[in-house]
Chain A
Amino acid sequence: MNPEDVKLPDDIDSELVVDGPTTFPVDRRDFVKLTATGLLVLVAIDRTGAIAAPQGRGGGYPTDINAYVHVGADGRVTCLVGKIEMGQGAMMALPLLLAEELDVAPASVDVVMGDTDLCPWDMGTFGSLSVRQFGPTLRQAAAEARAALVEMAAERLQVPASRLATKDGVVFDTADATKKIAYARLTEGKRIERTLTNKPAVKSPAAFTVVGKSVPRRDALDKVTGQAKYAGDIVPPGGALHARILRPPAHGATLASVDTSAAEKIAGVKVIRDGDTIAVLHEHRDEADTALALVKAQWTRNDPPFDDVTMFDHFLKAAPPPQTSGQGGNVADGEKLAAEVVERTYYDSYVAHAPMEPHAAVAAVEDGKVTVWAGTQTPFPLKNQIMQALRLPAEKVRVITPYVGGGFGGKSGSRQGVEAARLAMLAGKPVRVQWSREEEFFYDTFRPAAVIKIRSGMDGAKKLVLWDYLVYCAGDRGAAHFYDIPNHRTLTRGSWGGGGGAGAAGLHPFAIGPWRAPGANTNAFARESHIDELAAKAGLDPVEFRLKNLKDPRMVRVVNAVAQKFGWTPKAAPSRRGVGIACGIDAGTYVALMAEVAVDSTTGRVQVKRVACAQEMGVVVNPEGALCQIEGCITMGLGYTLSEEVHFKGGQVLDTNFDSYELPRFSQVPKIDVVILDAKDIPAQGGGEPAIVPMGAVVANAIFDATGARLYRMPMTPARVKAALAKT
Chain B
Amino acid sequence: MRPVSFTLNGKPTRVTVDENRPLLWVLRDDLGLTGTKFGCGEGHCGSCTVLVNNEAVRSCAMSIGDVAGKKVTTIEGLAAGGRLNAVQDAFVRHTAFQCGYCTPGMILGAYALLLKNPRATRAEIVSQMDTHLCRCGAHVRIVQAVETAAAAMKGGTR
Contact, CB under 8 Å: A224 / B107: yes
Q: Which of A8, A242, A408, A672 contacts B92 (CB 8 A)?
A: A8
Please measure, in the bound complex, the distance between the C-alpha atom of A15 and the C-alpha atom of B94, giving whole angstroms.
Answer: 10
**B99 adjacent to A636 (CB under 8 Å):** no
Which of chain B's residues have a CB closer than 8 A to the CB of A5? 82
Inter-chain contact B25/A636, CB cutoff 8 Å: no
B29 cross-chain contacts in A, Cβ below 8 A:
242, 283-285
A634 close to chain B: CB less than 8 A: yes
Query: Is the beta-carbon distance between B84 and A404 smaller than 8 angstroms?
Result: no
With A224-B92, A663-B135 given, is the CB distance from A355 to B101 under 8 Å? yes
- Contact indicator B101/A356 (Cβ below 8 Å): yes
- Structural contact, A632 and B36, CB atoms closer than 8 A: no
A649-692 vs B: 1/0 string, CB under 8 Å? 00000000111000111110101100000000000000000000
Question: Of residues B30, B130, B136, which shows the largest number of chain A Cβ atoms within 10 Å of its Cβ?
Answer: B136
**Residues in B neighbouring A513, C-beta threshold 8 A:** none
* A658 adjacent to B44 (CB under 8 Å): yes
- List, in ascending order, chain A residues with CB within 8 A of B88's CB: 224-225
Chain A proximity of B26: nearest CB distance (Å): 8
**Bound complex: CA A88 to CA B136 (Å):** 9
A405, B101: Cβ atoms closer than 8 Å: yes
Q: What CA separation (Å) do A222 and B100 show in the bound complex?
A: 9
Contact of B100 among A3, A216, A228, A632 (CB under 8 A): A228
A7 contact set on B, CB distance < 8 A: 82-83
Tell me the residues in window 412-451 of chain A with beta carbons closer than 8 Å to chain B beta carbons.
434, 436-437
Cα distance A6–B89 in the bound complex, in angstroms: 11
B40 part of interface (Cβ distance < 8 Å): yes
A-side contacts of B30, CB under 8 Å: 284
B75 adjacent to A226 (CB under 8 Å): yes
Contact in complex: B39, A628 (CB < 8 Å): no
With A9-B84, A406-B135, A635-B140 as contacts: A358 and B99 at CB distance below 8 Å:
no
Whether A225 pairs with B79 at a CB distance below 8 angstroms is yes
Q: Is the CB of B84 within 8 A of A8?
A: yes
B98 / chain A contacts, CB cutoff of 8 Å: 87-89, 406, 628, 632
* CB within 8 Å of B: which A233-278 residues: 233, 235, 242
A102 proximal to B (CB < 8 A): no
Q: Are A6 and B84 in contact (CB under 8 A)?
A: yes
| A657 in complex: contacting residue of B44, B78, B141, B142, CB < 8 Å | B44
Proximity bits, A572-591, B CB within 8 Å = 1, else 0: 00000000000000000000
Q: Produce 1/0 per residue, B1-44, CB < 8 A to A.
A: 00000000000000000000110010011101111111111101
Cα–Cα, bound, A286→B62 (Å): 12
For chain A residues 616-642, which have a beta carbon within 8 Å of chain B? 624, 628, 631-636
Minimal Cβ-Cβ distance residue in A for B42:
A657
> In the complex, what distance in Å separates the CA atom of A631 from the CA atom of B96?
11
Q: Determine how close the nearest CB of chain A comes to the CB of B115; give it in whole angstroms.
A: 17
List the B side residues contacting A671 at CB < 8 Å.
140
Query: Which B residues between 66 and 89 are near A, CB-CB below 8 angstroms?
Result: 74-76, 78-84, 88-89
Instruction: Select from chain B the residue with minimum beta-carbon distance to A221.
Output: B92
Known: A6-B83, A628-B95. A230 touches B136 (CB 8 A): no
Q: For window 57-96 of chain A, which residues contact chain B by CB distance below 8 Å?
A: 86-89
| Chain A residues in 8 Å Cβ range of B28 | 233, 285
Which of A9, A229, A285, A354 has the most B CB atoms < 10 Å from its CB?
Answer: A285
Q: Which residue of A lies closest to B18 (CB)?
A: A287
Give the residues in chain B near A666, CB-CB below 8 Å: 125-126, 129-130, 132, 139, 142-143
Given the contacts A233-B34, A284-B29, A403-B99, A628 and B93 also touching, CB distance less than 8 Å? no
- Inter-chain contact B41/A669, CB cutoff 8 Å: no
Residues from 85 to 138 in B contacting A, C-beta threshold 8 Å: 88-89, 91-93, 95, 97-104, 107, 125-127, 129-138
State A406–B99 Cα separation when bound (angstroms): 5
The reply to whether A216 and B135 form a contact with Cβ atoms under 8 Å apart is no
> Please, which residues of chain B bring their CB within 8 A of the CB of A88?
98
Query: Contacts of B101 on A, CB cut-off 8 Å?
Result: 230, 355-357, 405-406
Alpha-carbon gap, A404 to B98, bound state (A): 10
Given A226-B74, A628-B98, A632-B98, A665–B91 Cβ distance below 8 Å?
Answer: no
Q: Are A225 and B83 in contact (CB under 8 A)?
A: no
A235: which B residues are within 8 A, CB to CB? 32, 34
Most buried by B among A216, A357, A671, A672: A357
Contacts of A664 in B (CB 8 A): 137, 139
B45's nearest neighbour on chain A, judged by CB, is A658
Interface centre among A16, A228, A287, A403 (most CB of B within 10 A): A228
Residue of A nearest to B78 (CB): A225
Q: Which of B32, B39, B79, B83 contacts A437 (CB 8 A)?
A: B39
How does the 8 Å CB contact mask read for B38-70 relative to A, with 1 for contact and 0 for none? 111110110100000000000000000000000
Given contacts A228-B100, A658-B45, contact A284 B76 (CB under 8 A): no
Are B99 and A355 in touch, CB under 8 angstroms? Answer: yes
User: A residues within 8 A CB of B33?
Assistant: 226
A220, CB-defined interface residue at 8 Å: yes
**Given A356-B47, A405-B101, A632-B136: A6 in contact with B82 (beta carbons within 8 A):** yes
In the complex, A671 Cα to B47 Cα: how many Å?
A: 24
CA A436 to CA B47, docked complex, whole Å: 14
Bound Cα distance A226, B97 (Å): 13
State in angstroms the CA–CA spacing of A407 and B25 once bound together.
24
Q: Is A1 an interface residue (CB 8 A)?
A: yes
Nearest CB on B from A699, distance (A): 15
How long is the Cα–Cα vector from A16 to B28 in the complex, in angstroms?
33
CB within 8 A of A658: which of B40, B102, B107?
B40
Nearest Cβ on chain B to A402's Cβ, whole angstroms: 11
Nearest-CB residue, chain B, relative to A663: B133
**Which chain A residue has the least Cβ–Cβ distance from B137?**
A635
Known: A1-B82, A665-B130. A355 touches B141 (CB 8 A): no
Chain B residues in 8 Å Cβ range of A659? 42, 44
Bound form: Cα–Cα A437–B82 in Å: 35
Complex Cα gap A619–B153 (Å):
40
Q: Are B133 and A9 neighbours in the complex by a CB distance under 8 Å?
A: no
Instruction: Write the chain B residue with the least CB distance to A659.
Output: B44
Q: Which residues of A contact B37 (CB under 8 A)?
A: 230, 356-357, 405
Which of B47, B74, B100, B140 has most A Cβ within 10 Å?
A: B100
Determine if A101 is an interface residue (Cβ-Cβ < 8 Å): no
Determine the residue in chain B with the shortest Cβ distance to A407.
B99
Query: A123 to B134, alpha carbons, bound, how many Å?
Result: 27
B99 nearest CB neighbor, chain A only: A87
| A-B interface, 6 closest residue pairs, ranked by CB to CB distance from nearest | A226-B35, A635-B137, A87-B99, A405-B101, A87-B98, A223-B100
Measured CB to CB, the residues of B under 8 A from A are: 21-22, 25, 28-30, 32-42, 44-45, 47, 74-76, 78-84, 88-89, 91-93, 95, 97-104, 107, 125-127, 129-143
- What are 23 A-B pairs at a CB distance below 8 A? A9-B84, A87-B100, A217-B95, A217-B97, A220-B95, A221-B92, A226-B36, A226-B76, A242-B29, A285-B28, A355-B135, A356-B37, A356-B45, A357-B101, A403-B100, A628-B98, A632-B136, A634-B137, A635-B138, A657-B40, A664-B137, A666-B126, A667-B126
Q: Beyond A226-B74, A286-B22: 12 further Cβ-contacts under 8 Å? A: A9-B83, A87-B100, A224-B84, A224-B91, A224-B103, A226-B34, A233-B28, A356-B45, A357-B99, A436-B41, A635-B139, A666-B129
Instruction: Name A's B-contacting residues (CB within 8 A).
Output: 1, 3, 5-9, 12, 15-16, 86-89, 216-217, 219-230, 232-233, 235, 242, 283-287, 354-358, 403-408, 434, 436-437, 624, 628, 631-636, 657-659, 663-667, 669, 671-672
